[in-house]
Chain A
Amino acid sequence: EDKVVQSPLSLVVHEGDTVTLNCSYEVTNFRSLLWYKQEKKAPTFLFMLTSSGIEKKSGRLSSILDKKELSSILNITATQTGDSAIYLCAVDNSGYALNFGKGTSLLVTP
């Protein structure tokens, strides 16, 4: 059975802190790992990581894929209150739908 496990499930930090969110997976036919941010409504795409692109960075957010350990981390530096959201990790092993983890709920306090 395919599994995507995220940790921690929730996290509270102060503005300016750096956070690391974790995602591990056990799936057949791994194609890519994706990170999404979900605020009030639908998830919005952050990064996709594959065998040929194991590190991505955008502003204060960065992500690394460790194919040997079957895991990924999402780093957020200098957190802001606007970073408060649920962060979802998902794995694609089919090309048309995703297996999602339960998400990490991040709260950044002023």
Chain B
Amino acid sequence: NAGVTQTPKFQVLKTGQSMTLQCAQDMNHEYMSWYRQDPGMGLRLIHYSVGAGITDQGEVPNGYNVSRSTTEDFPLRLLSAAPSQTSVYFCASTSGGSYTGELFFGEGSRLTVL
């Protein structure tokens, strides 16, 4: 099992550009989520999904868009990148049926917006 796979690992964008961070999991988990981590801020929830076709906003959703067309994939789209979106992004998944509290994280994507 690959677990949770995020791509790309690093990306540099110019202000105003758009891009998509990819996230895929092969554990058949129902729940997937995106977090951003800034120095001294812990992890903050951007968007989450409780199943294919169902998404909702987290704590810091502005400037981001998500969709969940399959159980496996949960891409995060930056519509018009801003320097404030410079951060490390983590995708995570967990099983709804046998929930143990453990989120499985991807390795992270470091995004710099100039």
Chain A interface residues toward B at CB < 8 A: 4, 6, 9, 31-32, 34, 41-43, 45, 48, 50, 88, 90, 92, 95-103
Most buried by A among B41, B45, B101, B105: B101
Q: CB within 8 A of A98: which of B30, B50, B103?
A: B103
Say whether B74 faces chain A, with CB atoms less than 8 Å apart. Answer: no
Say whether B68 faces chain A, with CB atoms less than 8 Å apart. Answer: no
Q: In the complex, A102→B38 CA distance in Å?
A: 9
Chain A residues near B30: list those with CB within 8 A. 96
Do A42 and B42 touch (CB < 8 A)? no
Chain B residues near A43: list those with CB within 8 A. 43, 90, 103, 105
Chain A residues near B40: list those with CB within 8 A. 9, 102-103
Scan B42-67; emit 1 where CB is below 8 A from any A CB, else 0.
Answer: 11110010100000001000000000
Most buried by B among A34, A96, A101, A103: A96
Say whether B106 faces chain A, with CB atoms less than 8 Å apart. Answer: yes
Smallest distance from the beta carbon of B46 to chain A beta carbons, Å? 10
| Contact A100-B43, Cβ < 8 Å, known A42-B90, A42-B108 | yes
Residues of B in contact, count (CB < 8 Å): 25
Do A96 and B43 touch (CB < 8 A)? no
| Contact A95-B99, Cβ < 8 Å, known A43-B43, A88-B43, A101-B42 | yes
Do B90 and A95 touch (CB < 8 A)? no
Q: CB within 8 A of A100: which of B42, B50, B101?
A: B42
| Contact A48-B42, Cβ < 8 Å, known A42-B90, A42-B108 | no
Do B102 and A45 touch (CB < 8 A)? yes
Smallest distance from the beta carbon of B8 to chain A beta carbons, Å? 15
Do B106 and A42 touch (CB < 8 A)? yes
| Contact A96-B44, Cβ < 8 Å, known A34-B101, A41-B108, A48-B101 | no
